[in-house]
Structure 1
Amino acid sequence: MKKTLGILLVATLTLTACGRVRDSAINPFNWFGGSETVETSEEEVNPLIPVKKDSILNREPVTYRGTPVADLTTLKIERVAGGAIVRVKGVASSQGSFDVRLEPENEDLIPVKGVLTYTLLAVQPPGFRQGPARSREITAAAFLTNQQLASVRTIRVVGANKTLQSRR
């Protein structure tokens, strides 16, 4: 009983002290003060908004340094809701390939005589060892909508040494 009364008394004193801490500098919520409305002129620059030339979104376009992948092993077209996924697996000439892309050769994905052509590209840095084929495998995929597939009869994927295609 005496312990409970002591704990209750200490808790009450601590709680009443919070009223004094609320407006003091000890309280972290008071460190920056309240907000205020400030008029801005058109010439004033907001420091929170980056200048367009320094923006991540407005950088100069970087040229893609990818080269065609040496060998293509499999080409699969998998039907999914709303279209199809074109999935290609290839073997790069050396280990360490990255930034793998399946780039369309046709402008705006419009097939030429029913053929939609892609190229399997990857950035392949020099100086890496060749290693076993399993360690050099890379995969890329592209989604095509039903509207894009409407006039496509053949999908062709080009590599450096081999071309694979799939027909309807």
Structure 2
Amino acid sequence: MSKLTAPLLIATMILVGCGRLGDSRWNPLSWGSAPTPTLEPEDGYAQISDTRPLIPQIAAARWEPLNEGRLLVVNGFAPVRGYSSVALVTARPQPGNRLAPDADGVLRLRLVGVSPAPGSAAALPARPGVDEIAAAMAISSVQLSRIAAVEITSGSNVVTLRR
């Protein structure tokens, strides 16, 4: 028994004394702490924001109840008909379908769309109250729990809804 104790004690002392904690790969304390290599760029991934222009004006905004959250419905108005690809997008780019508010608890959205080409048949004058542009966004109860208010920006006005 004593013949086995001395070599084990010597081996343990050698491993413990292997330089500073993170310097030696023989040190068992540093085996799991090595940084894992990643393919992510040093500056992070480029975030592409939506380049569609803002709808000229917001006419109304309201909440509609859903089973698991609320539906944010926004009506806008433009001087001409024919807007396409109308949507509510976050003011700052966010990955995937994530809706995270800013540090103050306000979710900032933009009402955007593509205007018709000048001179096209779709670019007829719009009639107030009839030719409104509508966009909606479903927000789950989990996402709503972090949001104190929603701020929607258009070309000429900003509308804020509290939960």
TM-score (norm 2): 0.59
Larger radius of gyration: 1
Identity among equivalent pairs (%): 23
Q: 1:125 to 1:110 in 2, by over 3 A?
A: same
Q: Which residue of 1 aligns with 2:80?
A: 94
**Are residue 155 (structure 1) and residue 141 (structure 2) matched?**
no
Q: 1:64 to 1:136 in 2, by over 3 A?
A: farther
Paired with 2:88 and 2:63, the residues of 1 have a C-alpha distance of: 13
**1:18-97 pair list within 5 angstroms:** 66-97=52-83
**1:98-109 pair list within 5 angstroms:** 98-106=84-92, 107=94, 108-109=98-99
Output one character per residue of 1:34-73: Cα deviation in whole Å (capped at 9) or x when no partner. Answer: xxxxxxxxxxxxxxxxxxxxxxxxxxxxx96631111101
Q: Which residue of 1 aligns with 2:45?
A: none
Q: Tell me the amino acid that sits aligned with residue 81 of structure 2.
A: Q
Stretches of structure 2 lacking an aligned partner (at least 5 in a row) = 1-48
Stretches of structure 1 lacking an aligned partner (at least 5 in a row) = 1-62
Deviation at 1:118, TM superposition (A): 1.0
**Are residue 140 (structure 1) and residue 135 (structure 2) matched?**
yes
Q: Which residue of 2 aligns with 1:120?
A: 111
CA-atom RMSD in angstroms:
1.9
Q: Which residue of 2 aligns with 1:51?
A: none
Q: Tell me the amino acid that sits aligned with residue 136 of structure 2.
A: A
Q: Tell me the amino acid that sits aligned with residue 123 of structure 1.
A: V
Deviation at 1:152, TM superposition (A): 0.6
Higher helix share: 1
Question: Could you tell me whether the CA contact under 8 Å between 2:50 and 2:89 is conserved in 1?
Answer: no
Q: Tell me the amino acid that sits aligned with residue 101 of structure 1.
A: A
Q: Tell me the amino acid that sits aligned with residue 82 of structure 1.
A: E
Question: Could you tell me whether the CA contact under 8 Å between 1:95 and 1:135 is conserved in 2?
Answer: no
The alignment covers a number of residue pairs equal to 106
